[in-house]
Amino acid sequence: MASRGGFSSKAGFIAAAAGSAVGLGNIWGFPYEVGAGGGAIFVLVYLFFCFVLCFPVMITEIAIGRKSGRNAVGAFNALGHKKWNFVGKIGVLSGILILSFYNVIAGWAFGYTFQLGSGNFAVADNFTAFTSNVFEVGTYGMLFMIATAFIVSKGISGGIEKAAKILLPTLIFMILGLVIYSLFLPNAMSGLKFYLLPDFSKFSFNVVFNAMGQAFFSLSLGMGALITYGSYVGKNDNIVSSAALITLADVGIAFIAGMMIFPFIGYISNGELTGVGGGPELIFVTLPQIFGSIGGVTGSILGASFFALLCFAALTSTVSLLEVPVSYLVDEYKLTRTKAAWLMAGIVYVIGIPSLVGNGYSEYFTEFIQYFNAETKTNFLSFVVNLANDSFLPLGGCLIVFFAAHIWKKENIDAEISIGAPNYEKSFVKKYLSIALPYLVPILLATIFIMTVLVTFFGVDF
Ligand code: PHE
């Protein structure tokens, strides 16, 4: 068999996996979830779940990938449990669905980079007019998908790893620049207070539930992205410390994204913090208005930098989403990487068209579906989000962990983790995993899955 390629070093893997994790979920999703979830209390719950729930799943996915040396579907076959490869197939499907709409949003961000860069702040006044202009935004999306396919076609060390090693540091540098700028604005501190001082009266079941879902999506779990990346990891690398660093990088960047955004919101709302209602508008409407109110060249530079940063973050994530089906095609159907990458990118782009046109342009896809007991209709893009992110990911994660602990067996996970991690045998992590993997994590994930289906699709009120 031809070589599948691999990461050139542990640092290369960590950069790529952290690049996958850090994406729209951190810079777009996290702040608006914080806004909707009552501020700092959400942040606390989120941090808790990243380590308690997500960290074990991450270790498991990487271990399955490295042991099997195969894609998300082939991994189950290689471990001798072909019957379970449906779990990998759900993962490949989730990857395709997520990428299909994710790329549309990335295309908007790409478009905003140009608009704000050229001083057109008015674009934010009528966001629907912008998204309805499907030929323009569709072209931005297409360019984005081409960039993604290009990187994936260049392979693991020559494409994915190289891109992440450039994009990730650039992104961190840009966010820090914006954090410093935003902290010096008038009323910045009121935003920070909302973000950092927990108001325990806002604690609710919904906060817990949304924080779990957000943590899971943000860490790229539940669809085999990390099984796939894990299959390119060297045998001598330490899985536990890698997973810890990836989690810290993801959490850290989400955290500083909040440090950048909430001072801006404190500023625009004169310290009242109105408009922190959450929702996608936070990034595409509120923030550009802030850049507009700063105005002039400074406003343009800030605005364009922010959206360029969002694109960089999205690109290392779209690459990991595309890699899942691509490595499946390469391993199982013997396609060349180049062919698989361009073919898959084309298919995904087409699947994304209803999400593209369902934001004002096509009435049918804009008012796509009305869930039971819902007052309003849901557009196609949100429908795919509810299906893939909110439902398939927790389901997939639950099945992956259940499989690993009960079918592949905990001893085998431990044996794989121990390679490259000499201290693992006696560590606290090992003890924790012996409770988390067989019981705690599958139960929590099954609960999120069932609750999401009931709440989202059937309007059940808890
Ligand atoms: N973690 C990415 C983000 O936060 C999204 C993602 C999910 C990427 C699943 C790959 C797999 O934006």
**Is 1 inside any structural domain?**
no
Counted domains in the chain: 1
Residue 277 has pLDDT above 60, yes or no: no
Q: How far apart are CA 175 and CA 76, in angstroms?
A: 39
Q: Is the CB of 321 under 6 A from ligand 1?
A: yes
Which CATH number does the domain housing residue 206 bear? 1.20.1740
Residue 276 has pLDDT above 80, yes or no: no
3-state secondary structure 380-402: HHHHHHHHHHHHHHHHHHHHHHH
**Is 192 inside any structural domain?**
yes
pLDDT class of 204 with cuts at 50, 70, 90: confident
pLDDT at residue 130, rounded to an integer? 95
Q: Which are the contacts of 140, defined by CB distance < 8 A and separation ≥ 6?
A: 107, 108, 110, 111
pLDDT class of 1 with cuts at 50, 70, 90: very low
pLDDT class of 28 with cuts at 50, 70, 90: confident
Q: How far apart are CA 421 and CA 220, in angstroms?
A: 23
Residue 2 has pLDDT above 90, yes or no: no
pLDDT at residue 222, rounded to an integer? 97
Query: For the whole model, what pTM was predicted?
Result: 0.96
Residue 68 has pLDDT above 90, yes or no: yes
Which amino acid, residue 190? S
Q: Is the CB of 217 under 6 A from ligand 1?
A: yes
Which amino acid, residue 369? I
Q: Average of pLDDT values for 24-44?
A: 89
Q: Average of pLDDT values for 202-211?
A: 86
Q: Is the CB of 106 under 6 A from ligand 1?
A: no
**Closest CA relative to residue 56, chosen from 447, 392, 444, 346:** 444
Residue 50 has pLDDT above 70, yes or no: yes
Domain limits for position 51:
10-458
SS3 252: helix
Average pLDDT, the chain: 93
Q: How far apart are CA 431 and CA 457, in angstroms?
A: 38
Q: Average of pLDDT values for 128-142?
A: 96
Q: How far apart are CA 252 and CA 264, in angstroms?
A: 19
Q: What's the token pair of residue 264?
A: 């801006």
SS3 224: coil
**Is 70 inside any structural domain?**
yes
> What is the per-residue pLDDT across 151-179, written as a single tens digit (0 to 9) for each?
999 999 999 999 999 999 999 998 999 99
**Is 2 inside any structural domain?**
no
Q: What's the token pair of residue 43?
A: 């942040």
Instruction: Take atom 9 of ligand 1 and give the residue whose Cα is closest.
Output: 220
Q: 225 and 20 in contact (C-beta within 8 Å)?
A: yes
Residue 436 has pLDDT above 90, yes or no: yes
Asked which of 3-17, 169-183, 188-202, 266-280 is least confident by mean pLDDT, the reply is 266-280
Ligand 1 centroid vs 199 CA: distance in angstroms?
Answer: 29
Q: Average of pLDDT values for 229-239?
A: 96
**Is 5 inside any structural domain?**
no
From 218, 228, 315, 323, the mutation candidate for ligand 1 (largest count of ligand atoms within 8 A of CB) is 218
**Is 4 inside any structural domain?**
no
Atom of ligand 1 nearest to the CA of 23: 12
**Is 120 inside any structural domain?**
yes
